[in-house]
Structure 1
Amino acid sequence: MPLHIQTPLLESLALSRAAGTQVWLKLEALQPPGSFKLRGVGLACEHHRQRGAMRFVSSSGGNAGLAVAHAGRSLSVPVVVVVPQTTSARAIELLREADAEVIVHGSSWVEANALAQSMVEASDAFIHPFDDPLLWQGHASMIDEVAAAGLRPDAVVLSVGGGGLMSGVIEGLQRAGWDEVPVLAVETHGAASLQAAMAAGKPVAIEAITSIATSLGAKQVCDQAFALSQRHPVRPVQVSDAAAVRACRRFLDDHRLLVEPACGAALAVVYDALPALADFKRVLVIVCGGATATAEQLARWSAELPG
C-alpha cells in the first residue's frame, strides 16, 4: 500500500459559477500531512528504505518536510529537516509534532538545502522537496486517479513553486495520453520563477522571493519543469498575494477546507475568472493544500494586503 491516499475528485458548484465554466477539484489538501507532497515523497522514502536507508534528511519550509516526517513515522525511519529562518513557527511546531528533528539555518531555502545536503551520510537518504524523478512519478498518480474516474479535463490549473507538482502532473497527463491538455501554471507576484525561466529561455534565479506564499518560494525552478514548459502546452499566470488570500478565504467558506496562499494562487485564477480560462469548458484544479496556514493568518493577511 502506498503512503498516500486516493483523494476526492469533485465538481465545485461555487467555483463553476464564479468562473462560468465547469470546475473540478482534486483535493490533495486531504492527504494525511496536508498536501500533495506525500505522493512523491512517500514513493521516494519507500524506495530508499528498501535500499537500506537508516535516516531521511530533507530541506523544506513546510509541506515537503511534513511529508518526509509522515513517511519517516510510517516507515520507522528517523527524519531530519533543515528549514530556513523564514519558516513559520507553526510549520516548525508541526514538524516537531511529527517527530522530525528540526534545524533552522539560513535566510532562504537555498542555504537550508546546502546544509541538509552536507549532512547526508552513507546510510542516509536525501529527500529533495521538488527536484527528483521519484517525486514526479509519485505526483503523477493524482492524474492516474482522475483518468480512472473518467474525467478528461480541457485544462489543469495548478500552483508552481520549484516545479515538482507541475512536473508530476505533466508526467501523469502524458501517461494518460493527454499530451495536448494545457497546464495553467500559476505563481504569485514576487515568486514567479517559472515565468522568469520561460521569458529567459532557460532556468534563471529570480533576485528575491517577496511573496507571502512562501511555499512557492523557490528562486529557480527545477530543470525538468522548464524542459516540460518547452514541450508541453504550459501557460504561465500570475496573481497577487491579495488575490491568493482572498481565494483561500472564499474556499474556506465554500468547501470548509483551509489551504495556504500557495494553493490559493491556483484557486484565485478560477474565483476571479481570469482570461486564461476563457478557452476551456471543463477545468481541473489541483487543490495542493498546505498544513501550515491558519485562519488567524488569513485574517491578518487580508487586513494587511492592499486590494
Structure 2
Amino acid sequence: MITVADVEAAAERIAGHVVRTPTVPSPGLSDLLGAPVTTKLELLQRTGSFKARGATSRLLTLDESERAAGVVAVSGGNHGIAIAVMAGALGIEATVVMPRSAPTRAVETAEGAGASVILADTMDGAFALVEELRTKGLTLVHPFDDPVVVAGQGTVGLEFAEDAGELTDVVVSIGGGGLIAGVATALRARRPGLRVWGVETEGALAMTEALAAEGPVPVELSSIVSTLSAPSASQLTYEHVRALVEDVLTVSDADAVQGVLDLAEHAKVWAEPAAGCLLPAARQILQLVGPDARLGLVVCGGNATTADVSTWAARFGLR
C-alpha cells in the first residue's frame, strides 16, 4: 500500500502542472441535505477532473526511452482526456483506447489534444486492446492499478485535509478505486478520526463485488456512468479500500443523474454523474451516522455536456 509520504512526494512532483482546486463550504448543499457540507471542486481541475493529477504523476516518472516510445491508456473518458492533454503538454505521444459508450466530448477532447484515439466495442474490449498495444513498446499508464497514479490522486485528499474545516465524513466516487485509495491514504493519515465512504452505481459494482469476494473479480457493466465503469477493481485499490474505507454504498443511475441536477441548482456547479452519485450517498450516510455529521464531498469531475444530461434526465423522467 502507498503511504502519505508517497502522496506528499507526488504533490511535490506535480506542483506547477495541476491546479490546487478550491475547497469551499456549500450553503446550498448544506440546506438541501440538512448537514454542513464542504466541497472539493475537482471539476475545476485541468482537463475537468481529478485524473490530471495521477496522469501527470506517472508521466513525470517516465525515463527517456519510455518518453520516446510513447504511452497508452484505457479510459471511460476522464483518464483518457487527462493522458492526452498532459502528455501533449509534456511532448509525449499518447494513444488512448475508449469504449464506444465514452462521452463524445471525451473522444473529441482527447483527439484535439493530439492523442491517437481508438474505440472498442466494450470496456472489456478496451482493456484487452491496450494489452496488445503494450507489446508494441508503449508504456501503459493505468487509470488505477499503479501506485504512482494512486499517489497522484491522493493529492486531492492532502489538499482537502489542509484546506477544509472540521469534517466527520468524506464521500468519494469509485470506478476502479484509484481516487478513493489515494484520498483515503492522505485523509486517514492527516485526520485519523475521519470516516471515508465510497459510492458506486448499481451497474458498475467493481469495488462492492471485490469486497464481497475478498479480492477483485470481473463484473458485468450496465451503468450509463462510463467514467465509473471499470471491469474490475485492482488488488492495489481493493487493499486500500478494505483497510481504510468505512463502507461502499450503491446508488442508481437515475439518482446519480438527479444528483447532477441538484448540484447545478443547489451548489451552482456543473458536474457529471460520477459526481452526482455523491448526493444520494450522502443521504444514506446521514441516515447511518446521524444529523451531527459534517460532510466533505469530492466533486470529481464535470465532463458532461448539457446535451448528455438532458438525454439522461429524459430517459429517467427527471426534471
Task: State TM-score, norm by structure 1.
Answer: 0.91
Tell me the CA shift for residue 253 of structure 1.
2.2
User: Which segment drifts farther, 248-257 or 48-57?
Assistant: 48-57
Residue pairs, 1:261-276, within 5 angstroms: 261-270=273-282, 275-276=287-288
Residue pairs, 1:120-199, within 5 angstroms: 120=134, 124-149=138-163, 151-176=165-190, 178-199=191-212
Flag the structure with higher helix content.
2
* Matched residue, 2:9: none
User: Which segment drifts farther, 229-238 or 36-45?
Assistant: 229-238
- Distance between the aligned counterparts of 2:199 and 2:137, measured in 1? 38
Q: Relative to structure 1, is the Cα distance of residues 184 and 294 closer, same or farther in structure 2, using a 3 angstrom cutoff?
A: same
* Matched residue, 1:295: 306
Give, as a single letter, the amino acid of the residue that structure 2 aligns with 1:128: H
1:243-293, Cα deviation, whole Å (9 max, x unpaired): 1111101211233322111111113323687524536521110000142x1
Q: Relative to structure 1, is the Cα distance of residues 281 and 124 closer, same or farther in structure 2, using a 3 angstrom cutoff?
A: same
* Matched residue, 2:47: 33
2:180 and 2:241 in contact (8 A); partners too? no
1:87 to 84, 95, 102: 102
- Distance between the aligned counterparts of 2:145 and 2:250, measured in 1? 22
2:185 and 2:244 in contact (8 A); partners too? no
2:257 to 223, 242, 245: 245
2:188 and 2:244 in contact (8 A); partners too? no
Q: Relative to structure 1, is the Cα distance of residues 306 and 205 closer, same or farther in structure 2, using a 3 angstrom cutoff?
A: farther
1:15 and 1:270 in contact (8 A); partners too? no
Alignment of 1:19 onto 2:27: no
2:19 and 2:45 in contact (8 A); partners too? yes
Q: Relative to structure 1, is the Cα distance of residues 276 and 33 closer, same or farther in structure 2, using a 3 angstrom cutoff?
A: farther
2:58 and 2:141 in contact (8 A); partners too? yes
Tell me the CA shift for residue 181 of structure 1.
1.9
Give, as a single letter, the amino acid of the residue that structure 1 aligns with 2:165: L
1:122-172, Cα deviation, whole Å (9 max, x unpaired): 764211111110111111112221222253421110111100111111121
2:98 and 2:119 in contact (8 A); partners too? yes
SS in 2 for 1:131: coil
Residue pairs, 1:100-139, within 5 angstroms: 100-105=115-120, 107-120=121-134, 124-139=138-153
Cα RMSD of the aligned pairs, angstroms, is: 2.1
1:196-219, Cα deviation, whole Å (9 max, x unpaired): 22222222222x211111111112
Alignment of 1:64 onto 2:76: no
- Distance between the aligned counterparts of 2:237 and 2:285, measured in 1? 26
Q: Relative to structure 1, is the Cα distance of residues 135 and 6 closer, same or farther in structure 2, using a 3 angstrom cutoff?
A: same
Residue segments in structure 1 that go unaligned for 5+ positions in a row: none
1:223 to 223, 235, 251: 235
Tell me the CA shift for residue 110 of structure 1.
2.5
2:39 and 2:298 in contact (8 A); partners too? yes
1:2 and 1:43 in contact (8 A); partners too? no
Q: Relative to structure 1, is the Cα distance of residues 254 and 271 closer, same or farther in structure 2, using a 3 angstrom cutoff?
A: farther
Which consecutive segments of 4 or more residues in structure 1 shift more than 4 A? 49-52, 271-274
1:187-245, Cα deviation, whole Å (9 max, x unpaired): 11111221122222222222x21111111111211112221232224211111111111
Q: Relative to structure 1, is the Cα distance of residues 231 and 70 closer, same or farther in structure 2, using a 3 angstrom cutoff?
A: same
Give, as a single letter, the amino acid of the residue that structure 2 aligns with 1:248: V
User: Which segment drifts farther, 70-79 or 247-256?
Assistant: 247-256
1:155 and 1:280 in contact (8 A); partners too? no
Tell me the CA shift for residue 89 of structure 1.
2.5
- Distance between the aligned counterparts of 2:54 and 2:16, measured in 1? 10
- Distance between the aligned counterparts of 1:254 and 1:65, measured in 2? 30
- Distance between the aligned counterparts of 1:138 and 1:51, measured in 2? 22
